[in-house]
């Protein structure tokens, strides 16, 4: 007697190789494939919207700080509330899309972001900021692994050719990091040019997120949700059997990536104001945008290179970029600081894509959401721990030594992780 395994979609990450022998001709478009193709872009747009909203408050922290008079460490705590929310959601729910379906978890994520947006509008003192950022983090943690896996599965269903999964990994990385950069820029632009800068950005995203929620209702599911469901347990941070080395290398790459991104979405705007005396809200948003835009552009521009070459470029750009950030801060030349931040962003974008692609390739589709959730969980620890430590040290140490120490530690970690990823690419 034979048994049939539950039908699940395949999501090759990184780029898959088409079947051996003669190349497979792409299938003719059908309504089903067209629906999956449309669903791919709806998921990408929803992913982009959620990540953009998560970054909108970054250039607004200085406004809250000026209005309420709280110290820089409070900004760090507000930011940490978001990152802790992400980590809790990844631990408790990041893997549930493997069982309950990708679309359902993405809908939950968008709904949580809508709640956070409304809270920003009606409860905007420090306790309200902490709660809204925590809920926003829960939404992002519910989303990241689910949307990344869903994009790959929809692409494979829509186009049965060898390039499908590769396109999905590029889009997933670009909308993840590009969305954060775009959100910071939108927040900065609106804060600079509208009359109510602490209201209008959130009102805009209430509309955007509502549209994303409605659009997600028509996206096809790619997971068989009718199979027997295992007993619930939180997401373990353990490597797949026989793949401990690649898993921890991917985790270290994600940790160093998010440490850099955390710097430029929390402390960097305050550093610009205190060290360079750049208090323009648009400049703060543009600086954060440059980091994430560099990450997204680098992933797209170098997507055709072999993964090992991408990792090596990532290591080089992170080192040169963060060194430029340190030099710019030492000589007080804001242009060097900004250019260094963009180069560092490009580097971490490449390391991020290699880390997520490497982790996703370690298991089959029935476990991919869980492994990606574990990798993102390690990554967001990199966003919390170094930034909170840096914020605490800023209470007693001047900003410049803190920045220089941060740069040295993150460069060392990125080079170690990158060398491990390159060796296994």
- Would you say residue 88 lies in a domain? yes
- Would you say residue 68 lies in a domain? yes
Residue 15 has pLDDT above 60, yes or no: no
Q: Which domain holds residue 107?
A: 31-223+244-424
- Would you say residue 51 lies in a domain? yes
- Would you say residue 316 lies in a domain? yes
Residue 174 has pLDDT above 90, yes or no: no
Q: Give the tens place of pLDDT for each residue, 379-398.
A: 888 877 887 787 778 778 88
Name which residue leads in pLDDT, 326 or 399.
326
pLDDT at position 279 is: 67
- Would you say residue 1 lies in a domain? no
CA angle, residues 65, 66, 71, in degrees to nearest 5: 40
Token pair, residue 330, equals: 């030492």
Q: Give the tens place of pLDDT for each residue, 123-158.
A: 989 999 999 999 999 999 999 889 988 998 888 888
Residue 73 has pLDDT above 50, yes or no: yes
Q: Give the tens place of pLDDT for each residue, 86-101.
A: 889 988 888 888 888 8
- Would you say residue 9 lies in a domain? no
pLDDT at position 213 is: 97
- Would you say residue 5 lies in a domain? no
Q: How many domains, in total, are found in the chain?
A: 1
Number of other residues whose CB lies within 10 A of the CB of residue 242: 9
- Would you say residue 342 lies in a domain? yes
Prior bond to 64 cis, omega within 30?
no
Cα dihedral sign for 157, 159, 160, 166?
Answer: negative
Token pair, residue 285, equals: 């948003």
Token pair, residue 39, equals: 């669903």
Q: Which pTM value belongs to this model? A: 0.78
Q: Give the tens place of pLDDT for each residue, 310-345.
A: 999 999 999 999 999 899 888 888 889 889 999 999
Instruction: Give the Cα separation of 19 and 4 in Å (integer).
Output: 22
Residue 351 has pLDDT above 50, yes or no: yes
pLDDT at position 105 is: 94
Residue 262 has pLDDT above 90, yes or no: no
User: Which CATH number does the domain housing residue 325 bear?
Assistant: 1.20.1250.20
């Amino acid at each position: 007697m034979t048994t049939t395994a539950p039908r699940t979609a395949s999501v090759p990450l990184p780029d898959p190789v088409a079947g051996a022998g003669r190349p497979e001709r792409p299938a003719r478009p059908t309504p089903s494939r067209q629906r999956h193709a449309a669903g791919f872009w709806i998921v990408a747009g929803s992913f982009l919207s959620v990540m953009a909203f998560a970054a909108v408050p970054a250039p607004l922290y200085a406004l809250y700080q000026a209005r309420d008079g709280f110290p820089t460490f409070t900004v760090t705590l507000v930011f940490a509330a978001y990152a802790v929310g992400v980590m809790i959601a990844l631990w408790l729910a990041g893997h549930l899309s493997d069982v309950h379906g990708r679309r359902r978890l993405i809908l939950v994520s968008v709904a949580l972001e809508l709640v956070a947006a409304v809270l920003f509008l009606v409860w905007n003192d420090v306790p309200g900021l902490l709660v809204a950022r925590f809920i926003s983090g829960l939404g992002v943690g519910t989303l990241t692994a689910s949307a990344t896996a869903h994009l790959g599965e929809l692409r494979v269903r829509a186009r049965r050719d060898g390039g499908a999964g590769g396109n999905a990994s590029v889009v997933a990385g670009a909308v993840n990091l590009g969305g954060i950069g775009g959100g910071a820029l939108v927040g900065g632009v609106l804060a600079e040019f509208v009359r109510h800068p602490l209201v209008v950005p959130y009102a805009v995203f209430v509309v955007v997120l509502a549209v994303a929620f409605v659009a997600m209702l028509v996206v096809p599911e790619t997971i068989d949700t009718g199979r027997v469901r295992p007993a619930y347990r939180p997401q373990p941070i353990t490597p797949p059997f026989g793949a401990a080395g690649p898993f921890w290398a991917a985790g270290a790459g994600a940790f160093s990536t998010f440490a850099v991104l955390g710097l430029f979405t929390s402390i960097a705007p305050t550093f610009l104001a205190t060290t360079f005396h750049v208090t323009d809200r648009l400049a703060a948003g543009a600086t954060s945008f440059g980091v994430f835009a560099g990450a997204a552009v680098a992933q797209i521009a170098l997507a055709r290179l072999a993964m090992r070459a991408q990792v090596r470029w990532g290591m080089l750009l992170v080192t040169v970029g963060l060194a430029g950030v340190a030099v710019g801060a030492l000589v007080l030349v804001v242009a060097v600081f900004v250019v260094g931040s963009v180069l560092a962003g490009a580097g971490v974008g490449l390391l991020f894509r290699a880390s997520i692609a490497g982790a996703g390739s370690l298991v089959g589709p029935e476990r991919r959401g869980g492994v990606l959730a574990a990798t993102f969980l390690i990554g967001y620890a990199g966003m919390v721990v170094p930034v909170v430590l840096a914020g605490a040290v800023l209470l007693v140490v001047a900003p410049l030594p803190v920045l220089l120490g941060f740069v040295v530690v993150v460069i060392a970690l990125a080079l170690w992780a990158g060398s491990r990823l390159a060796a296994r690419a």
